[in-house]
Amino acid sequence: MKINQNLQNDVEKVFWENTELNIILKKILFNKVLLIFWNILLVVIFLGSLGVLIFNLISSNQNGQLNIIAISTLFFGTLLSLIIIVFTIRKSKKLSLLLNEKIFSGKKLDLVYKNYFEFNFKAHGLSEIELNLVNPEFKIEKIWNSYKTYLNTKDAPFKTQSINSINFTFNNQRGSFVINNPIRFIERKRTYNNSKNGSKYKTVTTKFSSSNLFLESNKYSENFRGIKVKKSGKLKGDYKSESVLFNDKYSTNFSSTDLKATQFLTPIALDKLSNLELNGFNALGINNEVYVEKYKVGKDIFPIGIFDFTKLFTKSNLIQLVSKKIILEFEMLLDSLEYISYMK
């Protein structure tokens, strides 16, 4: 990901010129040092106590009192270190939330977003950029299921005012883009099975992030409400377009006799959709608005304007962390926009 120097300069001004943000930042970095210290100490206590215990047990001159000390240190030292580590991690999350809240309260990044997005949007036909930051909440949801089942069974998205968004105008139509709270999907997978020993399972956790793009279009919502396009095999419609490539890549909920199909899937639409990569694509559909659903597996991506400051190690690392997140949001928006770029 290429870092924009002007963006970095704008981000730097926000943080370096604000005393309150700097104080919280110093606490986050100090907490990170504590976390590293206690992790190292945990390893030293565990290995040191275990080493003393094993050495004493195999020694010809065993010392019972030394065994008790080693076992006590191993148990209580490890337990205490783990408790402190958990506490430190929780404190890091609270400080990250606090820093996000302070950024929100003063709308400190609004101008940074506006400058970057407006400058880069011009080349893509977008205008009237508006950053809508309403919720500084920093959280990861957990669901006991597989992400594939979730994608296959979830309802169509709808626009809500309770999540941060970037609003814009595209082809004289208002649109908005949101990144949802990341999800950790937890599932038990069978790893071994035979008639003698039975089944063995392991717990697998999958990081999952998703985004929705909405476009307000009376033309499409009035004429094509209820239409869905997904990856091949996901929908049961038997309509086949004139494009073999489109038919191989996608499925729809159109019947073969539905006249709306040819009106919606025009030659321009077919050509555009057929030449797009489907990595992370879940659905294109129309309800009250046109919507595009996309997702990423293996990465936590927080909503627009929310930053995971628990990952900070140094003060200089902050500028890159914020800049990269803003650029990622921009790239995700443009990626989703490709699926509706033909809509006028």
Provide the residue ranges of all domains of the chain, joining segments of one domain with +.
Answer: 19-107
* Distance, CA of 342 to CA of 267 (rounded, Å): 10
Describe the chain by its helix, strand, coil percentages, rounded to 5.
50, 20, 30
**First vs last C-alpha separation in the chain:** 31
Tell me the two tokens of residue 231: 């990856």
* Distance, CA of 334 to CA of 341 (rounded, Å): 10
* Distance, CA of 334 to CA of 274 (rounded, Å): 17
Element housing 55 (H / E): helix 19-58
For 115-141, write each residue's pLDDT tens digit.
888 888 777 778 888 888 888 888 899
* Pairing assessment for the beta strands 173-179 and 250-252 based on DSSP bridges: unpaired
**Residue appearing with tokens 């159109």:** 254
Closest by CA to 119, choosing from 1, 14, 2, 7, is 7
Q: One-letter amino acid identity for 154?
A: K
* Distance, CA of 139 to CA of 159 (rounded, Å): 20
Whether residue 183 contacts residue 143, with contact meaning beta carbons closer than 8 Å, is answered with yes
Number of helices (H), then strands (E), belonging to the chain: the values are 11, 10
Closest by CA to 130, choosing from 105, 175, 167, is 167
Supply the DSSP symbol for 287. S
pLDDT band at 64 (very low <50, low <70, confident <90, very high): low
* Distance, CA of 13 to CA of 319 (rounded, Å): 10
- Residue 299 reports pLDDT greater than 70: yes
Mean per-residue pLDDT, 65-92: 79
Give the residue, 94 or 57, on which the prediction is more confident. Answer: 94
Element housing 13 (H / E): helix 5-16
pLDDT at residue 334 in the model: 92
For 215-262, write each residue's pLDDT tens digit.
998 888 888 888 899 998 898 888 888 899 999 999 999 888 888 888
* Distance, CA of 137 to CA of 101 (rounded, Å): 8
* Distance, CA of 72 to CA of 66 (rounded, Å): 10
pLDDT at residue 66 in the model: 64
The pTM is what? 0.83
pLDDT band at 196 (very low <50, low <70, confident <90, very high): low
pLDDT at residue 121 in the model: 79
Helix (H, G, I), strand (E, B) or coil at 264: helix
Whether residue 193 contacts residue 152, with contact meaning beta carbons closer than 8 Å, is answered with no
